[in-house]
Structure 1
Amino acid sequence: MSEVDKVLVVGGGIGGLCAAIALRREGVPVDLVEIKSDWTVYGVGIIQQSNVVREMARLGVLDRYLDAAYSFEDVGIYDLEGEPLARIPGQRLAGPQYPANVGISRLALHKVLSSTAIELGAQIRLGLSVEAFEQDEDGVDVSFTDGSQGRYALMVGADGVYSKIRTLLFGDTYRPRFTGQAVWRYNFPRDPSIDHLASYMGPGGNAGLVPLSDNLMYMFSTSHEPENPWYPPEQLAELMRDRISNIGGLVGRLREQITDSSQVVYKPMEVVFVDEPWFKGRVLLIGDAAHATTPHLGQGAGMAIEDALVLSMELTADGSMEQKLQRFMNRRFERCKFISEKSVLAGDREMARDQSFDRIGLTKQMLKLTAEPI
């Protein structure tokens, strides 16, 4: 093993926390800074598909949140009236003792990841970010926004789609791009029939229902929102109902229960992909900072989690820092590019109402690829 001095992780989201956990498990000292003073999480829930379940087990955190999550095996594809089109079986990649897929609230996941990072000895500071940095062959000198300074063997930018570290590295070369779509989410008591991920699709719209716990599930729907309009917060419930007005079955029956605009999570889709090495010297981007994509394949957070595991493996292996980071890129670039491009493609075909697009086939292709070892 090659010894690595302290690493700075910038960003306390899923990717940053998983990087801190993975590095601490390898004995690497970690500082983590998060710009939010109130360490809140955005959104309602998250789908962890088979490859993500595998890596969370490897990270040593899966057992800590399974009781607060919902384990399921399959993905069901339905038409807009709820008639079945396909059933895609899951794979128990983490081992026979674990489920193929997991749905969990973002809050429950954040509690486990943040508490694990702290227990493992990561030094976390909130309300803080990077002001500037200078680097040489041996390390990175970082100036923080509170006036403090630190020196690190590596700085990891895990600070999301609007990454400040990406801007410091690449200037304005890579800016988030609005895709033309947005996603709507809303929580409900779990219907007994939703014991799997249920996806409803057709030319008149789309929606999905995801179990999060024994008592909770959430609905999602994507919509074409030309010019990225701003909507008054008090209108979000009405607007979400309108976006799924052509969908029947269970989704149609749930529609009129969408009444509390404050509980609607509305998010325009913005993407960015750094189409060159994600590092310069001893500064590296991971997760959405390097490859933010749309939720159409359910792998955005999963790619960030995989980044974190691969980084910990390569950083503690032999070689120079450049060799370590280049090996990281060799393992991550094409896999993340596939997920990024195909997710955007699925959204583009939705907006074009392309009934010939094989969404089921793409889902199967994605599951086959992500089942491969990282």
Structure 2
Amino acid sequence: MTHRPTVPHSRLRSSGGTPIVLVIGGGTSGSALTVLLRRAGIGVDLVEASPDWKASLGAGITLQGNALRVLREVGVLEGVEKDGYAAEGVTVLAPDGTVLHAHDELRTGGDDLPAHIGMQRPRLQQLLIDEVLASGADVRLGTRATAFEQDAEGVDVTFSDGTTRRYDLVAGADGLGSATRRMIGITDTPEPTGMGIWRAPAPRPAGVTRTEMIYGGRCFIAGYCPTGEDTVYTYLVEPARDRASLNPDTYADEIRALSEGYGGAWTELRAAFTDPKAVNYACFDRHLVEGPWHRGRVVLVGDAAHACPPTLAQGAAMSLEDVQVLAELLTGRTEWDDRLLTEYHARRLPRVRMVVDASVQLGRWLLDGVRDADVPGLVHRTLSALKELP
């Protein structure tokens, strides 16, 4: 049995007693929210549809400073710094590997944090899992929420195993294809942007100490980011393909063929693409719920409410900022009501819209072959705004 400590009066739910939250989804945002709420003495049940919580697609992740700022609050920054690779800038190369220019990045998390840390995504997931388990939250894997029945004081949730439990709040952190979003009647859905991305891990070539990117050649972007002392994750961005037409058994052949013609470190990286199961393909989507992110006491966080192409590497950061703001409001108010959730949406929407629109615009310029686009200006303006606290 999980011990749920008594919370101070300032954090009591509107109906009195110890509040309890259901978090749906055990990914980055759901796990981070669970930890922050438990630290404040709020009871949390976390349900994850996958029976294997550790399963995580994706070779790596770039965590910008504003994401690191939240991860520090969650308590995993030390592990991220230990297992990841901190870098201060980006180098742009010609297709043959010649350096065109290098620039430092803005420290969106503040001067005391790196500009970004690259790391293997499964390792980040494990750090968050460890923190959730240490928090004392109740975790159920292979479990889905199948129905909500709400009144003014709470939500009765029915689960896929047939059980029902009452909660003061439900947070849907179940990703881009969120079932929670559909269940509460929000009809906004992700829209493809026309680009697709191949990702794969590889050994880190000697001399690769920061993110390096090539624009042009066979792909829109061919890049790689160090994720540790011995690893990088690589990515190649191209026009989107119909995923149904792709054979996963040929993924290694596909990414190897796309990387042909790129010089520099790509010669060494290409030789590492041998296991099709280590290669991931995904399409870029634009997603933003413009209207309220809640219905009654069920609220969306992270990709369930918004998502964008990784052209600014801000997807995880925006989700983590959602968590930080929502946790701040829930732990600082005596009443959990419509005004609280409306304030959460009002604080997040303008910032998220800015990032989504900028990320999509960067991709659109590539798709349209615009050569005189003000890419540096757009990136600088957006990242400068993100240095401010959400």
TM-score range, shorter chain: over 0.9
Residues 324-333 or 262-271, more deviating: 262-271
Give the structure 1 partner of residue 206 of structure 2: 192
Written as runs of structure 1 = structure 2, the 5 A alignment for 1:1-374 is 1-4=10-13, 5-39=19-53, 40-82=55-97, 83-91=99-107, 93=109, 96=112, 98-170=113-185, 173-202=187-216, 204-205=218-219, 206-318=221-333, 319-374=335-390
Amino acid at match of 1:371: K
Please tell me the residue identity of whatever aligns with 1:251: W
For the residues of structure 2 that align with 1:349 and 1:286, how far apart are their CA atoms?
29
Task: Compute the RMSD of aligned alpha carbons.
Answer: 1.9
Distance between the aligned counterparts of 2:336 and 2:280, measured in 1? Answer: 44
C-alpha displacement of 1:192:
2.9
CA contact 2:75–2:131 (8 Å) conserved in 1:
no
Question: SS where residue 297 of structure 1 aligns?
Answer: coil
TM-superposed deviation, 1:281: 1.1
Separation (CA, whole Å) in 1 of partners of 2:148 and 2:267: 53
In 2, the alpha carbon distance for the partners of 1:264 and 1:134 equals: 41
Shift of 1:203: 6.2
Distance (Å, rounded) in 2 between the aligned partners of 1:271 and 1:57: 28
The 8 Å contact of residues 128 and 145 in structure 1, kept in 2 or not, is answered as yes
CA distance in 1, matches of 2:92, 2:21: 43
- CA drift at 1:160: 0.6
Q: Which moved more, 1:287-296 or 1:341-350?
A: 341-350
Quick check: 2:108–2:384 contact (8 Å CA) kept in 1?
A: no
Q: CA deviation at 1:7?
A: 0.4
Relative to structure 1, is the Cα distance of residues 92 and 177 closer, same or farther in structure 2, using a 3 angstrom cutoff?
closer
Deviations 1:154-194 (A, max 9, x none): 100000111000001125x2222222211111111112322
Q: Percent identity?
A: 34
* CA contact 2:92–2:212 (8 Å) conserved in 1: yes
Show CA shifts across 1:167-225 (max 9, x none).
01125x22222222111111111123221122221365311111111011111111102
Q: Which amino acid aligns with 2:353?
A: K
Letter of the aligned partner of 2:375 in structure 1?
Answer: R
Cα distance change on mapping 1:253 and 1:361 into 2, 3 Å: farther
Q: Please say if residues 161 and 288 of structure 1, whose CA atoms lie closer than 8 Å, have aligned partners that are also in contact.
A: yes
Q: Distance in 1 between matches of 2:214 and 2:244?
A: 25
Cα gap change, 1:199 to 1:363, in 2 (>3 Å): farther
Cα distance change, pair 203–335 in 1 and its aligned pair in 2 (3 A): farther
- Structure 2 gap segments, 5+ residues each: 1-9, 14-18
* TM-score normalised by the chain length of structure 1: 0.94
User: What's the TM-score, normalizing by structure 2?
Assistant: 0.90
CA distance in structure 1 between the partners assigned to 2:134 and 2:238 by the alignment: 41
Give 3-state SS (helix, strand or coil) of 1:369's partner: helix
Q: Which amino acid aligns with 2:171?
A: V
Can you list the C-alpha shifts for 1:54-96, whole angstroms capped at 9, x where unaligned? 1111222201332111122222233333323341334273553
3-state SS of the aligned residue for 1:295? coil
> What is the one-letter code of the residue matched to 2:212?
A
Structure 1 gaps, min length 5? none
Rounded to whole Å, the distance in 1 between the matches of 2:336 and 2:260 is: 57
C-alpha displacement at 1:12, in angstroms? Answer: 0.6
Q: Contact 1:75/1:90 (CA < 8 Å) preserved in 2?
A: no
> In 2 relative to 1, CA 344–259 (structure 1 residues): closer, same or farther, beyond 3 Å?
same
Q: Number of residues paired by the alignment?
A: 372
Deviation of 1:134 (Å): 1.0
1 CA distance for matches of 2:240 and 2:70? 35
Query: CA separation in 2, counterparts of 1:92 and 1:345?
Result: 20
For 1:79, give the aligned amino acid: A
Shift of 1:335: 0.8
Deviation at 1:149, TM superposition (A): 0.6
Q: List per-residue Cα deviations over 1:116-150 (Å, max 9, x = no partner).
A: 01111111100001110011111111011110011
| Distance in structure 2 (CA, Å) of the matches to 1:100 and 1:268 | 26
